[in-house]
Amino acid sequence: MTKDQIFEFFRRLAEDNPEPETELEYGNAYQLVVAVALSAQATDVGVNKATRALFAKVKTPQQMLELGEEGLKEHIKTIGLFNSKAKNVILLSKLLVDEYGGEVPDTREDLVRLPGVGRKTANVVLNCWFKQETFAVDTHILRVGNRTGLAKGKTPEQVEAKLEKRVPQPFRLHAHHWLILHGRYICKARTPECWRCPVADLCSYRKKVIEKPKR
């Protein structure tokens, strides 16, 4: 894509959805960290179902420690890998209490120190809560970046680096949300719905599905 095409690509996505947000439900920075950590290899819908009752009780790292690992498991047992995720959430909560006064840090370097928090999770927290211009590359963004020609790369890190260079203002803050939602609902893995895509003419994907499949 050329610079002009990239600008137009995001302009159209922004026109359709001016203020995109994560579909995860949370009430504060700590709950966001927990929700994103739980969302690995799970759907946002599934995480939200599990965390509604949990977050009604637990709003701080200290409250999570008081709930305990077994108590946490009872809340999140419907989520994949819940045993290891529960262990990590308790460990990250302890680290927040012990070293950060119970507050979520606002740098990637500090966030990735937390057990169960990788670069993608850190980027989501920095973007959604601290309003930093980060690009959290998940499977949806990896697919959209490569299919469209916006940001090609074999790894999330490569795609993130391309997005960092290529996404212009005023779209940088919300870019990763637009791309995730686009990949989740239109540029789907098996059958991309190109017939209703607002940026299909800008996309370099050769196997476009221009007509809606008949059922």
Residue list for the binding site for [4Fe-4S] cluster: 187, 194, 197, 203
Task: Return the H-helix or E-strand segment holding 166.
Answer: helix 156-166
- 120 included as an active-site residue: yes
**Binding residue ranges:** 187, 194, 197, 203
- List the catalytic residue out of 73, 85, 138, 162: 138
d(CA 213, CA 119): 38
- 101-125 burial, b at 16+ Cβ within 10 Å, e below that, comes to eeebbeebebbeebebbebbbbbbb
Tokens of 33: 């960290």
- List the catalytic residue out of 73, 85, 120, 162: 120
- 87 included as an active-site residue: no
Q: Is the dihedral of CA 5, 182, 160, 142 positive or negative?
A: negative
d(CA 166, CA 160): 10
Residue the block writes with tokens 């994949």:
80
d(CA 161, CA 135): 9
DSSP string, 186-212: TS-SSS--GGG-TTGGG---TT---SP
Rounded to the nearest 5°, which phi and psi values hold at 75? Answer: -80, -35
d(CA 110, CA 28): 18
Q: Which residues are catalytic?
A: 120, 138
